[in-house]
Amino acid sequence: MLREIAWRVFAGEYNDATKEVSDGGERSPSYVVTPLGAKVNRLFVVGVLTDVENVATDESPMWRARLQDPTGTYHIYAGQYQPEASAALAKLKPPAFVAVTGKSRLFTPESGGTYTSIRPETVKVVDEGLRDYWILEASRSLKKRLEALREAYKMDPPKKEELAALGIKPAVAEGILVAVEHYGKVDLSRYSAMLAESLRYLLPEFRPPKGEEADTAEPPAAKAADEKKEATEETVLGIIGELDTDGKGAAWDGILGRATKAGVDRDLLEETINSLLDKGLIYEPILGRMKRI
């Protein structure tokens, strides 16, 4: 049996999945199919490990971890049947840049809802450079699926042979057919925005060549707004760092109080906190507390 490829899929797309398929055989692999047609049995994901917790017993631990990328959070579970991954998670201290290779999982409890997770095979600490390269690779993969699905939406109905004729790989074409049948026509603008935001997170702002600054320079009002936003973010980052005296993060009430005194009102503070979360500069170790990365 050939080893399944490990997909590079952003958390924002993976967590939207509600469809699982299998060939039906006793030993046949199962696949989580995303709204864009990624037919995922295994994943390779890289991000910031923000939380690790043993949700079982010391004698038979079950480690639950959260890994954050620019689009959302992966939920990772490792127990006695994943000894190497469990041992690695037990030693890790968040925050840390971490790479995880593992199996896709979809869970639908009786109470309703559908939840994705990853059962890890390997868990390794990496550096920021590898995390950035993974974002680039995941962005390329997302772009290809967006383009393929746009072509599929032009067909009525989409067919594997027609998709293959456009150069779309069989594995992607199969996933697209399942996705179109299960999800219908999804809002591609949501995933286009996800792609743009991920690249914006990764890449520096465009700087025009010398001699073109006069034609392409940012308007003074926009530049002033950007500088004000950066200054507010620096202020809030400083407050969070100062209030995190016990290593468990800064409490929201304390941040709000200090920010108000510094001239940052509640609405602006919430906007700034969301921006810092999106940029991966802070995370929420527990509800109501913020911590710098």
Per-residue pLDDT tens over the stretch 101-139? 999 999 887 777 888 999 999 999 999 889 999 999 999
Per-residue pLDDT tens over the stretch 275-284? 787 667 788 7
| Whether residue 60 sits in one domain with residue 178 | yes
Considering the domain boundaries, does residue 200 fall inside one? no
| Whether residue 188 sits in one domain with residue 223 | no
Considering the domain boundaries, does residue 208 fall inside one? no
Cβ atoms of 6 and 170 within 8 Å: the answer is no
For residue 57, the model assigns a pLDDT of 87
Q: Work out the percent of the chain whose per-residue pLDDT is above 70.
A: 88
| Whether residue 118 sits in one domain with residue 54 | yes
For residue 113, the model assigns a pLDDT of 81
| Whether residue 185 sits in one domain with residue 242 | no
Residue 87 maps to which CATH number?
2.40.50.140
Candidates 3, 89, 8, 16; CA nearest to 49 is 89
Please tell me the pTM assigned to this model: 0.70
Long-range contacts of 249-257 (CB under 8 A, 24+ apart): 249/284, 249/285, 249/286, 249/289, 249/290, 249/291, 250/289, 250/290, 250/291, 251/288, 251/289, 252/288, 252/289, 252/290, 255/290
For residue 214, the model assigns a pLDDT of 35
| Whether residue 167 sits in one domain with residue 240 | no
| Whether residue 159 sits in one domain with residue 119 | yes
Considering the domain boundaries, does residue 203 fall inside one? no
Considering the domain boundaries, does residue 198 fall inside one? no
| Whether residue 69 sits in one domain with residue 17 | yes
* Residue ranges of the chain whose pLDDT lies below 50: 1-2, 206-219
| Whether residue 122 sits in one domain with residue 158 | yes
| Whether residue 115 sits in one domain with residue 14 | yes
Domain that holds residue 256: 219-292
Alpha-carbon Rg for the chain, nearest whole angstrom, is 22
| Whether residue 178 sits in one domain with residue 82 | yes
Residues across the chain = 293
Domains of the chain: total: 2
